[in-house]
Structure 1
Amino acid sequence: MAVPLELTSANFAAHAEKAELPLVIDFWASWCGPCRSFAPVFNQAAAELEPRFRFGKIDTEQQQALAARFAIRSIPTLMVIKQGSILAQQAGALPKAQFYQWLNTLA
């Protein structure tokens, strides 16, 4: 069963810029209530929607350079990147059905 990758400055380029699959990123922090409540939806999507998408999480507290690079101002922020280009971005957590619908518009 697929699980989201823990993305860091060290491994980000390999997954976001060189990979063939669109990468769905959850920018989050441990102190963020909406982030924690969205985590099970994100994990379930990773299990159900790979290999159409790859899923990764960026802890904005631990990876401040990546958060700054993408000008993340609120969390959670969801972003889809393919080969280094941002395909879509969504601020805020989504209910499961809406999250899947959003992803299906990008596939």
Structure 2
Amino acid sequence: MSAGLKLICHDCDTANRVPADKLGSGPKCGTCGAKLTDGKVHDIAFKTMEKSVKSDDLPLIVDFWAAWCGPCRMMAPQFAQAAKTLAPHVRFAKVDTQSNPDATVRYNIRGIPLLILFDKGREVARLTGARPAVDIEAFVRTHVAQTA
């Protein structure tokens, strides 16, 4: 039996324990049934993101964006493609800075889109501006070894 990984459900905020060797088989939340490592980008609240950053055993990359931001909307499909490529070893989320102004203060966000990579409860690196999927994937692989 492999070690269990703790993952916060991005739909219901519940902590889940998932065997590491089952990440690729689509583990689901024990409370709401949502997939935990589905390779999709989840639009989450700042509170959920903070909980996930502190608790998750997998790296989390967050796109800080806003609906009015043209480059943010332009990058969204690229971010989604990178999420599919790096699943199930990295989780992807979006936080709307207009709906969650505390995020801009907490992380000193001066411009969007901004990608912040979190691992083991701390910020690992930042990437600013709209980027293609290959750049996002390379950025994550550079800073998190187990995604190769």
Match of 1:90 in 2: 127
State the distance in 1 between where 2:60 and 2:123 align: 9
Match of 1:10, SS state, is: helix
Deviation at residue 5 of structure 1 after TM alignment: 1.9
C-alpha separation between the residues in 1 aligned to 2:70 and 2:107? 22
Say which of 88, 97, 121 aligns to 1:60.
97
The structure number with the bigger radius of gyration is 2
Structure-2 separation of matches of 1:86 and 1:38:
21
Higher RCO by CA contacts (8 Å cutoff, separation 6 or greater): 1
Alignment: residue pair count: 107
Alignment partner, residue 78 of structure 1: 115
Unaligned runs of 5+ residues in structure 2 are: 1-37
Identical-residue share of aligned pairs (%) = 36
TM-score using structure 2 length: 0.67
Superposition CA RMSD, Å: 1.3
SS at structure 1 position matched to 2:98:
coil
Any gaps of 5 or more consecutive residues in structure 1? none
SS in structure 2 at match of 1:62: coil
Runs of 4+ with >4 A deviation: none
